[in-house]
Structure 1
Amino acid sequence: MASVIKIYALFLGSALLMFGGGLQGLLLSVRGAEEGFSLLSLGLIGTGWSVGFVAGSLFVPLIVRKVGHIRAFSVMAAIGTVTILLNLLLVNDVSWILLRALSGFCFAGAAMIVESWLNEVADNKNRGTVFSIYVTINMAASTMGQLAMSVTGTAGYIPFVVGAISFICAVLPTALTSSPQPRPLQSAKLDLKLLYKTSPVAAIAAFSCGMANGAFGTLAPVYGYEQGLDASGIALLFAIAAILGAVAQVPFGRLSDRIDRRLVLIGLSSFAALVGALTAIINPDAGWAMYVLFAAYGFAANPIYAVAVAHANDFAKDGEFAKIAGGMLLILGTGLAIGPAVASMIMGAWSPVGLFVVTATFHGALAGTAYLRMRVRKSPDASSRAPFQPMSDKQATPESFALDPRADSDADDFPVTRETAVPEELIETVEGDDDVQNGKI
């Protein structure tokens, strides 16, 4: 019973974190457009988040090893809270770009610590269930955060304060825990040569998803605003895209377990490219056509990254999943950082609908690459594949992959269990002992 309570408390902490993140991300794009920020500045706000998130995935584990999980999480939540409040006090583009990077750093760190605790509580029997519930809660909470903007609006201080309350409340489950400290956090491992050798399609898919979905997530709210939607309409627009994207992961993931996953990637990316091209041609006003096109885009684009991770894992050797997934995460982060900046320049030079030229281009390139690779390399038998697992392309961290049940083959890389975890006090008082510093007795 104690373990169950602990898991659901951590789920609550993660939900509060994702709620605040969903609200903040949508709010800054729309409020920035209302404040008259340039398209390039709005794109760089999205770039700042991605740069900060990747930096957090790399460096927060070092901070945790110095001060422990609870203190590090409290620092991340506190700085994240201060950051969103400073967005309210310092309403200018340069400040928001820098603050968004700091927010991404703290968000990555806080999410990794929550995931580390979940990984400690989970075991091989329930890891798949815990991971699935965790991903579902994250997607639902992030969508609810976006929908909250339809209630709070974008004017005044209320939406910023609501986001700050959500961030600071996320600290409670970890601050009140009496369980031993989890194992040290995993930093993302960058081995691009191994990743590309294992699956060129997965590497290209990670970059394409980053470019297309990074641009869409940051600048589609601006497009909606320019087309005449109010805060409530934009929130609903994104909620529909997110919900259909989450729902689509299950059937397309299961389909990819039965057939060549590259066929699924070709179908999804081709459809996403078609939707982007149609949106660029039609350039719909604020009406039903826009909602239909955004829903279709979310349905096609959101499952692509998870299918690509599964495809890479099909060709990975035992013990390589975490390294390959970490490499994909960093490639994805690179695309998420570059995509908004590139799309903002195209939108500024042409028109806001130029955003969908960018998404169509990168999804089309992925479809073509996957088709060509099918002519070069056969797919492994379905019986030898690890099953598909849903995941978000905007919230994954190295700890997400450690929690993923497909990482069981990497058990030697994650040796600490809740029975062998060392309390923080012991780790801090022993110097020079590699076993203790690594969380082993």
Structure 2
Amino acid sequence: MNGVVLGGTRSGVGKTVATLAVVHALQRDGATVQPAKAGPDFVDPSHHAQVAERPSRTLDAWLQGDDGLRRNYHRGDGDVCVVEGVMGLYDGDCSSTAAVASALDLPVVLVVDAKAGMESVAATALGFRRYAEHAGAGEDVDVAGVLAQRAHGGRHEAGIRDALPDDLAYLGRIPPLESLEIPDRHLGLHMGDESPLDGDALDDAAEHVRVDRIRDLARAPPRPDAEPPAGASTAPTDATVAVARDDAFRFAYPATIERLRERATVEPFAPTAGDDLPACDAVYLPGGYPELHADALAASPALDQLAAAAADGRPVLGECGGLMALSRSLATTDGDVHEMAGVLPADVRMCDRYQALDHVELRARDRTLTADVGETRRGHEFHYSTADVDDDARFAFDVDRGTGIHDQQDGLTEYRTLGTYCHLHADSGAFDAFLDHL
């Protein structure tokens, strides 16, 4: 499957809208498009899925390693893959867009904000192409073309196109339309099914994308050098894993759900809709927005059932929002306090600004649900909450990189329940370890 990477000059330049326009343009040209996202984001991929009508692949060298990144890319299905970058092209000390493009040997389409520039767009693009060699970021970062964001037609477009050197392709423009803006909140943009782009505006944007030139640039990445690490469990089990999937629990990587389904029966349930906890051998609570649905979550019968399942010794894994739901209480920024499941000895408070945002590395103190003693797990944390824990609280992990829950510790544990601020990807091995506990 051939692919291209859409890299931005900075955060906020309009990469998501540009990606959706390119996906839609390729679809109108008859292509089956596989979307993907560089970095650990959960929100932008929801917009990709809304337009492409298939899950977006997560591509992050820190979470997956180069081989895991390539494996995840090649699990995709389509004629062409469009990878949205993260932040600016070279930003990120352990998994930048440039690093992803280099590992996959994919060309980069640079998204440049052209709202107040013409020839300077070409100068910017030329500087981004040369920077890799200057900074030692790798001569194999191939900035091959430019997509002008917020650019008008006529003289504006011509000024941009004509200023580009012959070896930097002009790949079209995204018009400056208010209907092409996606609202945001504390963890990023609204989810794709909450605020989808206006269909007519997306059609208009797609009209101005040079699909023929994008398809000419796209190429296929190398296959991974190795299969999953030796010793990783692959055998199916007879287990059933209940997975929370609703407005409060939205942050699960597609590869994680795929991995669980490969080895177990997955039973989704929606706590905020009043679902009971299904009959199961274990429970996975992904991250999400429990703070936005705290009333419905507090009233859910599933919380009491979770508490009973945990006390009975069933494995329960909660990540970020899942950790919040497993705690005693959740206090929102308006001062309301909501009773949660009460499994973990912590009280969670929402804050007005983010409390942690980083790639993380955890080291297991003892054998726990997602790792054996001494093993490391790489993941990601991004949260606006903080947890006040009891003095005798027990933690499963020391945090070698990142913030964690308390005093460079993560993995609050009680019974066989584990709650972390860290989000893990299937290629970390964490979910195979989780299934091996069943």
TM-score by length of 2: 0.25
Q: Tell which has more relative contact order, 1 or 2 (C-alpha 8 A, sep 6+).
A: 1
User: TM-score, with normalisation over the residues of structure 1?
Assistant: 0.25
Kindly name which structure, 1 or 2, has the bigger radius of gyration based on alpha carbons: 2
The structure carrying a bigger helix percent of its residues is 1
